[in-house]
Structure 1
Amino acid sequence: MADTYTVSRTLVVDAPPERVHAQLADFHRWAAWSPWEDVDPALERSYEGAGSGVGAVYRWSGNRRAGRGRMEITESRPPALVRVDLTFEKPFKAHNDTWFEVVPEGAGSRVTWTMTGRLTVVTRLMGLFSSMDKFLGPDFEKGLQRLKTVSESAAA
């Protein structure tokens, strides 16, 4: 069995790469499209560091489903890439590398969201019932669809 997992999803967005990248590189904008923002209506959020791009930090703490963790943008190459260092503290500890690639496609953008991580005891146990791809993939699809809606409706 592999020691790591990778989850990746892609969606075409009818918005230019610069507009999509702006949504990804600013954690303040994630509430409008992240698939996990609505799992806890009382979710506590805090922002540190840069306002957007490299050095921007987002922390969250919520109910059992939302958990607690931290994200930091470690690389931002407008309009093509945003890389995020993701650490989960609760409900279990995990460290993941997450990135968004934005590639021009016609008048729009092809956005690919990828996350890799090491399989822990908890994720291995989860894997007995479902793969990480099946577990997280639908959330990525939901988030990309929301990102599409937000990016397509955002003012040029």
Structure 2
Amino acid sequence: MKTLLKLIGIIILLVIVYAVVAMLAFSKDYHYEKSIVINAPKEKVWQYAGSLKGYNMWDPFSKEIKNVKITYSGEGNKMGDSYHWKGDDSEGEQSIIETVPNEKLATQLHFIKPFEGNAKSNIVLAPEGNGTKVTWMIDNELNAMMKIMKPMMDGNMDKMFGQGLDDLKKLSEK
């Protein structure tokens, strides 16, 4: 019994040490990006990557939200256009802050639920061989709790960005 209590105590101590180290060592600035090469011209990829309505055809995050309802403001492809999403446990807005046709879509994300926060996202298209390289990026600031969860965030972002880019590839290569 004493051995079990010692083991539990050591585990708790290690968790506390990790949390303190994570809060002190990890930067508050978070950047994640992932790329894919799509066998289609930029103009075709842009149909799905250059507007909010096109984005929502392959966005893996909105697919995870139960009972999601999306409301658009504007056509979804011009500066200032936005959409608002609301689901069982998630709510937020995404607005276009920069667009360069066939090259870049930059958006501002405002998360309302389950936590308040802001992030910037960029989708950049560049020619690569006979296809198009798509790089999807996100930048935001991590609070103390998010710093602790950073390794899990990286894994989740890798999974979700990979799924989204794979779906974009399938749509664009049809």
Q: Secondary structure at the match of 2:149?
A: helix
Q: What is the TM-score when the length of structure 2 is the normalising length?
A: 0.79
- Superposed, which structure 2 residues align to 1:86-125 within 5 Å? 86-125=109-148
In structure 1, distance between residues paired with 2:130 and 2:156: 32
- In structure 2, relative to structure 1, the CA distance for the partners of 1:122 and 1:94 (3 Å cut) is farther
Unmatched 5+ residue regions in structure 2? Answer: 1-25
Tell me the alpha carbon deviations over residues 121-154 of structure 1, each in whole angstroms, 9 at most, x when there is no partner: 4422423xx243222121001000000011111x
Residue 28 of structure 1 and its aligned partner are, at CA, apart by: 1.6
1:57 is matched with which residue: 65, 68, 82? 82
Higher helix share: 2
Tell me the alpha carbon deviations over residues 92-133 of structure 1, each in whole angstroms, 9 at most, x when there is no partner: 111101001100112210000010100124422423xx2432
Contact persistence 2:34–2:162 (CA under 8 A): yes
Higher strand share: 1
Unmatched 5+ residue regions in structure 1? Answer: none
Match of 1:72 in 2: 95
Contact persistence 2:48–2:57 (CA under 8 A): no
RMSD: 1.5
In structure 2, distance between residues paired with 1:117 and 1:51: 23
Q: What is the TM-score when the length of structure 1 is the normalising length?
A: 0.88
Match of 2:153 in 1: 132
Match of 1:46 in 2: 71
Percent identity, aligned pairs only? 28
Higher relative contact order (CA 8 A, sep 6+): 1
Q: Compare 13-22 and 35-44 and name the one that shifted more.
A: 35-44
Of structures 1 and 2, the larger Rg is shown by: 2
Q: Secondary structure at the match of 1:53?
A: coil
